[in-house]
């Protein structure tokens, strides 16, 4: 059995889907690993590292030609233009990676022609047994950490309180909206840097997690058990709910030096939580880091991939932050991929066992047909 590791083609993507440590583990299971020349260089892993781990370094066409399974960080609709350009090379293959599954209907005819089988890492179920494969959480951890570093670099203040001969420097105030994995990591990082941290989440269960990190939980009285679906993912609320939420957060946002927003709903536009009026009320020099920028943004003024300044406030449209920490992000993602492959590989061969909940829920396409019940429900298919 041959597994191929491709060099990422998405603009500015520095991660790699499999690092040498996992290459060695897979070769020990009787699998041959083909790595495209230079695939890991931007993440800090040389071709020599891969060769020493047991991989064969080849050109891109040979990866496609010989591999039964193709591993990517961003594939299919997550790298749409490049995927469509190389689509014929994926014929009959098994693709594993971040695939933007919620938009797959847009190219369903093309993948049907290719008889492509695809596993979307975004669909890993939120169950205990799948935690070691949860790539969304791994990458959210990196994004939450990096968001705070970006904010601290842009803020014209220091984060910690300092007692100096020149007087006392007051700590920065950080407000984190959304206490999922990215939000909790942002809280922990901001606390380590010495900031005074507040956080809010509409899920009541998040309060205990926020408090455990030493942050203050902002009580708005809007917390709802309905904010999370059975799979552990965020659920969209109605516009009236978000309107009330914005009104009640207005004062907290105004008194914050840094606001980090992380609210996203799978397959939908990110809810607008910070309006232009709220930005106007912030102090000049304040910073907003919008981790939902790729989904439209939680801030009304966010421009994805750009830093804009409005009313003296810098608004960071953060996109693909894990790629800015590619060495560790690649290692985390690689472990997620390896643990998932352990469910698919038996005696050196691929077996797709639909009795296994993790395999069944993560399978997006089987020989070109959309089989994910979760995605079919969302697209009405």
DSSP per-residue letters across 345-381: EETTEE---TTSHHHHHHEEEETTEE--HHHHHHHT-
Reduce the DSSP state of residue 299 to 3 states and report it: strand
Examine the residue annotation and report whether 330 is marked as an active-site residue of this protein. Answer: no
C-alpha to C-alpha distance for 57 and 48, rounded to whole angstroms: 9
Is 319 in contact with 292 (CB distance < 8 Å)?
A: no
What string of DSSP letters covers 13-26?
A: ----S--HHHHHHH
131 is catalytic: yes
Phi, psi of 332 (to 5 degrees): -65, -45
Tally: H helices and E strands in the chain: 13, 19
351's CB contacts (< 8 A; 6+ apart) are 344, 345
Tokens of 257: 């030096």
Nearest to 265 by CA among 171, 172, 178: 178
Residue 114 token pair: 């290719």
Q: Which of 17, 67, 137, 138 is catalytic?
A: 137
* Kind plus residue range of the DSSP H or E element containing 155: none
Please confirm, yes or no, whether 137 is among the known catalytic residues.
Answer: yes
**90 is known as an active-site residue:** no
Candidates 46, 88, 129, 131; catalytic one: 131
In angstroms, the CA 189 to CA 149 distance is: 8
Active site residue: 203, 233, 245, 334, which one?
A: 233
Phi–psi pair at 108, nearest 5 degrees:
-60, -35
CA distances to 50, 87, 177, 252, 273 from 263, in Å: 37, 33, 7, 17, 9
Tell me if residue 327 is catalytic: no
Known catalytic residues are: 126, 131, 134, 137, 233
């Amino acid at each position: 059995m041959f597994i191929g590791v491709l060099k990422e083609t998405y603009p500015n993507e520095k991660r790699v889907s499999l690092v040498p440590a996992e290459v060695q583990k897979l070769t020990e299971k009787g699998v041959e690993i083909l790595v495209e020349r230079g695939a890991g260089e931007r993440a800090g892993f040389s071709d020599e590292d891969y060769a020493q781990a047991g991989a064969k370094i080849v050109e891109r066409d040979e990866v496609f030609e010989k591999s039964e399974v193709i591993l990517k960080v961003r594939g299919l609709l997550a790298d749409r233009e490049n995927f469509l350009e190389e689509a014929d090379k994926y014929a009959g293959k098994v693709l594993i990676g971040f695939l933007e599954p919620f938009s797959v209907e847009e190219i369903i005819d093309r993948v049907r022609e290719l008889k492509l089988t695809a596993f979307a890492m975004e669909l890993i179920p939120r169950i205990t047994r799948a935690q070691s494969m949860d790539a969304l959480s791994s990458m959210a951890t990196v994004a939450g950490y990096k968001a705070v570093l970006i904010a601290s670099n842009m803020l014209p203040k220091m984060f910690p309180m300092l007692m100096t001969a020149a007087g006392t420097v007051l700590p920065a105030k950080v407000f984190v909206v959304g206490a999922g994995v990215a939000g909790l990591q942002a809280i922990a990082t901001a606390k380590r840097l010495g900031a005074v941290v507040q956080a809010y989440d509409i899920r009541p269960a998040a309060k205990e997690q926020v408090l455990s990190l030493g942050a203050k939980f902002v009580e708005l009285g809007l917390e709802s058990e309905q904010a999370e679906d059975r799979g552990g993912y965020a659920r969209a609320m109605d516009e009236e709910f978000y309107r009330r939420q914005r009104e009640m957060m207005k004062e907290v946002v105004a008194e914050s030096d840094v606001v980090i927003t992380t609210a996203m709903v799978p397959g939908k536009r990110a809810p607008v939580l910070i309006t232009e009026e709220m930005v106007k009320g912030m102090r000049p020099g304040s910073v907003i880091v919008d981790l939902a920028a790729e989904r439209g943004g939680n801030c009304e003024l966010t421009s994805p991939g750009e830093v804009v300044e409005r009313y003296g406030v810098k608004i960071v449209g953060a996109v693909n932050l894990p790629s800015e920490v590619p060495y560790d992000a690649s290692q985390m993602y690689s472990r997620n991929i390896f643990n998932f492959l352990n469910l698919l590989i038996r005696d050196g061969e691929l077996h797709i066992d639909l009795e296994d909940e993790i395999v069944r829920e993560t399978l997006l396409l089987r020989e070109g047909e959309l089989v994910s019940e979760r995605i079919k429900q969302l697209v009405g298919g």
